[in-house]
Structure 1
Amino acid sequence: MELKTELTELRRESYGNLRGGYPIVLAGAIYWIVLAGLSRFLEPVPLLQTAFGLSGLIFPLAVALAWVTGNRFLKERNALSPLLVPAFIAMLLFWPMLFIAAAESSAGVVMAILAIGMSLHWPVIGWTYGRTALFSSHAIIRAVLVAWIFNAYPDERLTLIPLAVAACYLVTALIVFIDAGRVARRNRSATAGMAFAG
């Protein structure tokens, strides 16, 4: 029980200190907004090729946003940090499925796999912050929206799927920013209280 309590405190502290990594969430939103915009100008195959290439810019964009906002998500390391490597490996394993689908399926199918596959690490990231429900909800809602759009709007898949995912990111970024700010204030109060008591 002592280890569980320590882990809970560590997760909460990291979440508050890093404001839930909201620059990464904002970078994802920008990526999907750009794809939605490009869908109005590019044919399906060039759009998907662009989507694949631009996905590699999400992390550098997150780093730039973190630098601009003063968020130090790259500098903070704790006992849970090594968990991120297998979480990202698990997410990256969807790419072979995506390339197989790209060779055999429609652009809408590929876009749907991209939209869902890029969220596979969210539940684990949420766990490391002590916010499994919040981050898992993002991934689940995103998957449901993508499946619904795929079936309900077959002619608009390449625009509506990126817009829906971008909306999920923006709502999540706002919730994370507010919630993590509240946790950070609570953490500071608890630390100040312990310092005063000591």
Structure 2
Amino acid sequence: MKLTVSLQVTLDGVAQANGGNNEEMDPGFTRGGWAIPLNDAEAVQYILDTWRRPDAFLLGRKTYGLFETYWGARNDDGGFGEAISSKPKYVVSTTLTEPSWEQTTVIPDDLPNRVKEIKARPGGELLVVGSVSLARWLLENELVDELNLVQFPVIVGEGERVFPHSGLDFRLQLTDSRVFGSGIVGLTYRVGGRPEYA
């Protein structure tokens, strides 16, 4: 099973609070909601198609909580709620023990081996959305097969970035790109190997 990370990011790589500020989750961050003004129906459909494609989702604990509250109550909306509620969800958490959202499995420990077990299943796709810290961890542990970055034409100047200041290096191969009327760009990369340096 292919593991894909799909994140909405600013030009300066921030993936935090794209839909708005949540002070409980992001204390002191006041630049959330940077994705909302660019209400591009074609780009939204592109993101929705990405959510409809996988066989299962892999989520961090904070993202899972937000999504369960918002999308879990909209499981017949024909959109994002239905896309994620109708599929198995794996959530990485040491505190969640009895999830109420249907088709949820908790991964409390041994994350590298559990992810490898899921990936070893034949065919299909395991999709990570919205879980920036988890996405970084998966990349650093070389478990990501594909990166899908939906880049918004804005620089917010602060916030949690997808890529750390230092870490492993990766060679990427562009496999798909889309440019939307609002300036949003969808970029899909295959992850593999190390880059060559002059």
User: Who wins on radius of gyration, i.e. which is larger?
Assistant: 1
Higher relative contact order (CA 8 A, sep 6+): 1
Provide the TM-score with structure 1 as the length reference.
0.26
Relative to its length, the structure with more strand (as a share) is 2
Relative to its length, the structure with more helix (as a share) is 1
